[in-house]
Amino acid sequence: QVQLVESGGGLVQPGGSLRLACAGSGFGSATGFAFASYVVRWYRQAPGKERELVASISYADDRSTYADSVKGRFTMSRDNAKATVYLQMNNLKPDDTAVYYCEADLWGRGMDNYWGQGTQVTVSS
């Protein structure tokens, strides 16, 4: 059984930092493909708003891309040996408040996707 579990969310003051983690399990045994074969994305969804793609990291060269709203503040990385990706979030703003989800997409094809359950991030003074 494949699982993605997010962690690291919480309440933080504006200007603060959080580090989210998305831990995968079961990828090799259940899917036949190692975690390293998956593009992983972070999305967020605030109340009353559509889900927004925040960041993505490649399976091939670990290259990451970011939404304009977080560029320069968020950094995504992965540790394939631990089947885990991270989202370092610095200089957080109230507009970053949302539930953050990770998604694993085999080779980025959009055909074999797995989602985590989400972790709440609240930025407030």
Each residue's pLDDT tens digit, 57-112? 999 888 999 999 999 999 999 999 999 999 999 999 999 999 999 999 999 888 88
Are 34 and 11 in contact by the 8 Å Cβ rule? The answer is no
pLDDT in tens, 3-15: 999 999 999 999 9
Q: How far apart are CA 65 and CA 54, in angstroms?
A: 8
Q: How far apart are CA 26 and CA 35, in angstroms?
A: 9
pLDDT of residue 108: 86
- Burial (CB count <10 Å: 0-12, 13-18, 19+), residue 45: middle
pLDDT of residue 89: 98
pLDDT of residue 18: 98
pLDDT of residue 30: 84
pLDDT of residue 61: 83
- Paired strand residues for 113: 105
Question: Is the pLDDT assigned to residue 29 strictly greater than 90?
Answer: no
pLDDT of residue 62: 86
- Burial (CB count <10 Å: 0-12, 13-18, 19+), residue 107: middle
pLDDT of residue 101: 98
**48 falls in which pLDDT band (50, 70, 90)?**
very high
